[in-house]
């Protein structure tokens, strides 16, 4: 297919700003790197940083020793540390260091993975979709072919494979991972240091956080010996030095249509923020019962606040009229290019309109999508999963929902359902806390959906929310893994005959939830089909010059240590230990307990202040394009050596979910020198 001339390309190509892009390893911007920084990484460098990096599921980590030691953020392991803590041994508050291997603490139900293999299956999928299929049938045909591909690759390699959609479905890859399930805690600082400044300082800069933790990967009860690990730099960074971030950014939406961004601005994000505010209030209400109750929800509240603040920044970006005008103009330019090409016009000309129609359907079930489900009860969530699994396995493979077709996916689901019980956000089960959450969840459903909604009628069965929640939780045995295992093995018959009140409730709710799922799948089919068509049109017009949106898959981004303008001045590229103590004393020290003690320091950090070199860089700002999921990503230099640990971004950069602004978008990382000095001296 003929592409636009060079002049026309310059006129319509969306501006790719300096350092923008979370690049996949098959399409690294080697030319740009060479032209701007006189550096072109070779295959050995690329493979080394890739194989040294792990995905932690929502965060990133990296091997930093030959014996399986992994470095990541404190906030990435905080939930696990909370699960290991007790009333009398608060590892979140007091920190932890294993002085020998036998002191390392195994973290239950944790999985890390390293990307080993990548295969592009786009063309194979295209052949599986016959001309003339409807959007839904095309989606089913692709899903069926992906199941075949996945099963074949896993059988041949022994790796666990994920389907990876890039460019809104314009490309489809299979990524193969080596999986680790024996993870043990090695070291973590006190939360007062790891999250210094709390929610007030989150997404701001200058920062003064020692946001790191260390775990060790074991295999066959011995420390795992990775083929690659990062070595610690002995030189350190200076302002202007080139840095690389290797990690698993969660999600960006830069290739969405203007209509999709408008939906997020007007409904999607405001709805999320309303839910986050309600969840925070419910948790704070529980925490007010006693100091121990407050300890139990501390990590949960931090997680809710983090998500809310990130989305608030994204919403601010979507309300930037000038930025949105640039996005709208870029879309108009692509539409015009499509209209001028008969082949593209035939396949893609109506795609933007179809996406707008899907958005209207999405608006119709938005409130139900918020409140139909487990009503904040993790036990009901397990019951619903058991009921749906039994129903799906009773169907022919081709008639099942997509996630119930592959043997690998089913094995993972069954293992999770038969494993230890979990509370909210993976915390340890807490009956009192779950009763509180479940009660409030049922109250919210009744308030928002109405007393006569089928879900509310089925969930309450004429009872008050607290009575219904209490009856289901007090009578259930699902917290016992052996009970869940028996239901898994017994299949649909065992589930149908179960007298467990949670299973019975889940069976009543499942038809209602499947009704919602059908609506969601219909919308998803339209969005996937036409987003992919637009992506292919973008390829035809521009070539593969733009990076794909973040999808939680391994990426690399680059840029220098850099300042930026804010508050009428320039922000410093580095902060130091001196700045940490200055901020602590500036808020009155521990005696003041300002704003619930957000800037207090543990006593040992005050006692040993004189042992630190107060000039040592603690955090630094660099012009790299990252987002949530990059937390814990290693920061490496030209030599592929570890120089830092990414943990945050500035508030100005939260609009990066939708567009990148090279003038102010900055990521914030812990300097490796501070990590090493703290381990030795504190």
Residue pLDDT, tens place only, 36-86: 999 999 999 999 999 999 999 999 999 999 999 999 999 999 999 999 999
Question: CA–CA separation, 244 vs 300, rounded Å?
Answer: 31
Q: Could you tell me the pLDDT band of residue 8, with boundaries at 50, 70 and 90?
A: very low
* Residue 427 clears pLDDT 90, i.e. is over it: no
Q: What's the pLDDT score for residue 117?
A: 97
Question: CA–CA separation, 528 vs 235, rounded Å?
Answer: 47
Average pLDDT of the segment spanning 333-346: 95
* Residue 19 clears pLDDT 80, i.e. is over it: no
String of DSSP letters for 132-144:
T--HHHHHHHHHH
Relative to beta strand 96-97, strand 112-120 is: unpaired
pTM: 0.86
Question: CA–CA separation, 518 vs 524, rounded Å?
Answer: 10
DSSP H helical segments within 418-460, as ranges? 431-449, 454-460
Stretch among 16-20, 109-113, 547-551, 552-556 having the lowest mean pLDDT: 16-20
Q: Are 615 and 576 in contact (CB under 8 A)?
A: yes
Place of tokens 């906030």: 75
* Residue 443 clears pLDDT 50, i.e. is over it: yes
Q: Are 200 and 59 in contact (CB under 8 A)?
A: no
The conformation of residue 239, written as its DSSP 8-state character, comes to T
Question: CA–CA separation, 663 vs 598, rounded Å?
Answer: 30
* Residue 178 clears pLDDT 90, i.e. is over it: yes
Enter the tokens of residue 293. Answer: 């109750």
Handedness of CA 611, 615, 620, 622 (dihedral sign): negative
**Is residue 544 classed as helix, strand or coil in its secondary structure?**
coil
- For residues 540 and 587, the model is more confident at 587
Enter the tokens of residue 214. Answer: 């260390």
Q: Are 438 and 380 in contact (CB under 8 A)?
A: yes
pLDDT digits (tens, 9 = 90+) for 571-623: 999 999 999 999 999 999 999 999 989 999 999 999 999 999 999 999 999 99
Q: Could you tell me the pLDDT band of residue 429, with boundaries at 50, 70 and 90?
A: confident
**pLDDT above 90 covers what percent of the chain?**
82
Q: What's the pLDDT score for residue 20?
A: 82
Question: CA–CA separation, 67 vs 70, rounded Å?
Answer: 9
Q: What's the pLDDT score for residue 131?
A: 87
Q: Could you tell me the pLDDT band of residue 544, with boundaries at 50, 70 and 90?
A: confident
Q: List C-alpha distances in Å: 13 to 2, 89, 337, 552, 658.
A: 16, 57, 10, 26, 17
Q: Are 554 and 246 in contact (CB under 8 A)?
A: yes
Enter the tokens of residue 87. Answer: 């009333």
Average pLDDT of the segment spanning 416-422: 83
Question: CA–CA separation, 669 vs 631, rounded Å?
Answer: 9
Place of tokens 């405001």: 270
Going by C-alpha positions, the residue among 560, 549, 534 that lies closest to residue 623 is 560
Q: Are 587 and 594 in contact (CB under 8 A)?
A: yes
Question: CA–CA separation, 465 vs 457, rounded Å?
Answer: 11
Q: Are 619 and 206 in contact (CB under 8 A)?
A: yes
Q: What's the pLDDT score for residue 10?
A: 34
Average pLDDT of the segment spanning 436-462: 97
Average pLDDT of the segment spanning 122-137: 88
Place of tokens 């999250």: 195
In sequence order, the 6+-apart residues with CB closer than 8 A to the CB of 656 are 252, 317, 625, 626, 627, 649, 665
Enter the tokens of residue 403. Answer: 């996630």
Q: What's the pLDDT score for residue 652?
A: 87
Using left for φ > 0, alpha for ψ between -120 and 50, and beta otherwise, residue 283 falls in alpha
647 alpha carbon, distance to own chain's centre: 13
In sequence order, the 6+-apart residues with CB closer than 8 A to the CB of 107 are 77, 80, 83, 84, 183, 184, 185, 215
Going by C-alpha positions, the residue among 310, 318, 248, 316 that lies closest to residue 650 is 310
* Residue 321 clears pLDDT 60, i.e. is over it: yes
* Residue 648 clears pLDDT 70, i.e. is over it: yes
Q: Could you tell me the pLDDT band of residue 18, with boundaries at 50, 70 and 90?
A: low
Is residue 634 packed enough to be buried (19+ CB in 10 Å), middle (13-18) or exposed (0-12)?
A: buried
């Amino acid at each position: 297919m003929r592409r636009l001339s060079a002049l026309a390309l310059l006129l319509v190509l969306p501006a790719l700003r300096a350092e923008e892009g979370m690049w996949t390893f098959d399409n690294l911007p080697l030319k740009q790197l060479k032209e701007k920084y006189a550096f072109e990484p070779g295959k050995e460098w690329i493979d080394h940083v890739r194989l040294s990096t792990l995905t932690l599921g929502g965060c990133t980590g990296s091997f930093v020793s030959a014996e399986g030691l992994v470095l990541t953020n404190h906030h990435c392991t905080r939930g696990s540390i909370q699960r290991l803590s007790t009333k009398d041994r608060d590892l979140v508050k007091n920190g932890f260091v294993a002085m020998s291997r036998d002191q390392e603490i195994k973290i239950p139900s944790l999985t890390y993975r390293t990307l080993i293999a990548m295969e592009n299956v786009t063309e194979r999928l295209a052949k599986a979709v016959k001309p003339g299929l409807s959007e839904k049938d095309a989606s089913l045909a692709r899903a069926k072919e992906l199941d075949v591909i996945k099963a074949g690759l896993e059988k041949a390699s022994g790796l666990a494979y994920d389907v990876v959609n890039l460019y809104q479905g314009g490309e489809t890859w299979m990524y193969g991972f080596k999986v680790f399930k024996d993870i043990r805690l090695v070291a973590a600082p006190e939360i007062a240091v790891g999250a210094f400044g709390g929610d007030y300082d989150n997404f701001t800069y200058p920062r003064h956080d020692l946001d790191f933790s260390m775990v060790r990967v074991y295999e066959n009860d011995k420390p795992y010996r990775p083929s690659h690990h990062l070595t610690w730099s002995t030189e350190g960074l200076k302002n202007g030095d080139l840095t690389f971030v290797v990690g698993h950014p969660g999600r960006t939406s830069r290739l969405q249509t203007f209509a999709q961004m408008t939906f997020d601005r007007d409904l999607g994000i405001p709805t999320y923020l309303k839910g986050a505010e309600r969840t925070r209030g419910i948790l704070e209400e529980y925490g007010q019962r006693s100091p121990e109750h407050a300890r139990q929800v501390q990590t949960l509240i931090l997680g809710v606040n983090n998500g809310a603040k990130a989305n608030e920044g994204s919403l601010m970006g979507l309300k930037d009229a000038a930025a949105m005008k640039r996005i709208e103009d870029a879309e108009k330019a692509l539409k015009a290019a499509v209209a001028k090409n008969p082949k593209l016009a035939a396949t893609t000309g109506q795609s933007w309109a179809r996406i707008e129609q899907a958005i209207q359907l999405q608006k119709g079930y938005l409130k139900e999508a918020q409140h139909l489900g487990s009503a904040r009860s993790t036990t009901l969530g397990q019951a619903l999963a058991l009921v749906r699994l039994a129903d799906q396995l009773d169907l022919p493979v081709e008639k099942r929902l997509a996630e119930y077709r592959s043997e690998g996916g089913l094995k993972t689901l069954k293992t999770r359902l038969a494993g230890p019980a979990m509370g909210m956000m993976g915390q340890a089960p807490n009956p009192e806390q779950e009763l509180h959450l479940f009660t409030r969840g049922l109250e919210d459903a009744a308030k928002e959906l109405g007393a006569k909604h089928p879900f509310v009628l089925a969930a309450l069965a004429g009872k008050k929310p607290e009575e219904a929640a209490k009856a289901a939780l007090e009578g259930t045995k699902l917290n016992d893994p052996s009970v869940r295992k028996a239901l898994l093995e017994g299949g649909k018959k065992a589930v149908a005959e179960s007298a467990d009140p949670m299973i019975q409730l889940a069976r009543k709710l499942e038809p209602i939830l499947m009704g919602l799922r059908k609506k969601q799948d219909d919308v998803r089919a339209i969005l996937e089909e036409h987003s992919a068509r637009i992506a292919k049109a973008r390829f035809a017009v521009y070539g593969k010059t733009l990076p794909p949106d973040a999808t939680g898959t391994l990426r690399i981004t680059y840029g220098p240590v850099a300042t930026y303008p804010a508050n009428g001045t320039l922000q410093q590229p580095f902060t130091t230990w001196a700045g940490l103590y200055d901020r602590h004393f500036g808020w009155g020290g521990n005696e003041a307990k300002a704003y619930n003690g957000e800037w207090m320091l543990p006593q040992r950090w005050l006692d040993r202040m004189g042992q630190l070199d107060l000039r040592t860089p603690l955090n630094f700002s660099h012009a790299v394009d990252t987002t949530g999921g990059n937390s814990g990503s290693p920061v490496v230099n030209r030599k592929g050596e570890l120089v830092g640990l990414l943990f945050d971004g500035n508030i100005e950069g939260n609009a990066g979910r939708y567009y990148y602004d090279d003038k102010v978008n900055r990521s914030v990382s812990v300097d490796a020198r501070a990590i090493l000095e703290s381990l030795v001296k504190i």
